[in-house]
Amino acid sequence: MNQTDLSTLIAYHFWANDRLLAMCERISADDFTRTVTLNPGWDSLREILVHMLDTEFGWRASLEGQDASEILDAANFPDVATLKARWAQERAAWRAFETQWTDTYLQTPHKPGRPTVAQTILHVINHGTQHRSEAAVILTGLGYSPGELDFYLFLRDAPPPPPITP
């Protein structure tokens, strides 16, 4: 997996998240925070999304050698707008992190004896796919399907991401 491949997958990840968040903006505040009967391990749509954001934040911070011990609390995100604002900050941090990527760096272990940086980034992307699917089921049940989130549709329809400049 090289820098171009991972940058494409990260761009897809944020594109799919944006589609999901766009549907979240259409639901009521109660539906955003309501405990769901189809509980995929998190009590509400909000908790699923905050968990996704927390995972992106924690792994990026760890990969950059920063303190990754902070755990984002769903209570600090009372509405979709607050969550989207924090996610925009995280996306900007990922874009800045991407400027450091070289193929050699991506193949180095995250920490001694651990998966490579590339494998860790792939984990973040796959983790997002799992939880987007869970959130999409909830949204669809509320009548707000985010539609298809396929990687191929991203490749076909999404504008290319801005160039990465160190």
Classify domain 3-157 by CATH architecture.
Up-down Bundle (1.20)
> Is pLDDT at 166 greater than 70 in this prediction?
no
pLDDT at position 164: 62
**CA-to-CA separations, 43 to 49, 75, 76, 85, 142, in angstroms, rounded:** 11, 12, 15, 22, 16
Average pLDDT, the chain: 92
C-alpha distances (whole Å) from 101 to each of 9, 45, 71, 90 are 14, 33, 25, 17
pLDDT digits (tens, 9 = 90+) for 2-47: 899 999 999 999 999 999 999 999 999 999 999 876 666 678 999 9
> How far apart are the C-alpha atoms of 12 and 105, rounded to whole Å?
21
- Cβ count within 10 A of residue 126: 12
pLDDT of 130 over the 90 cut? yes
The pLDDT score that the predictor gives to residue 150 is 94
pLDDT per position as a tens digit, 132-142? 999 999 999 99
User: pTM of this prediction?
Assistant: 0.91
Among 165, 141, 109, smallest CA distance to 39 is for 141
Closest CA to 12 of 152, 106, 118, 111: 152
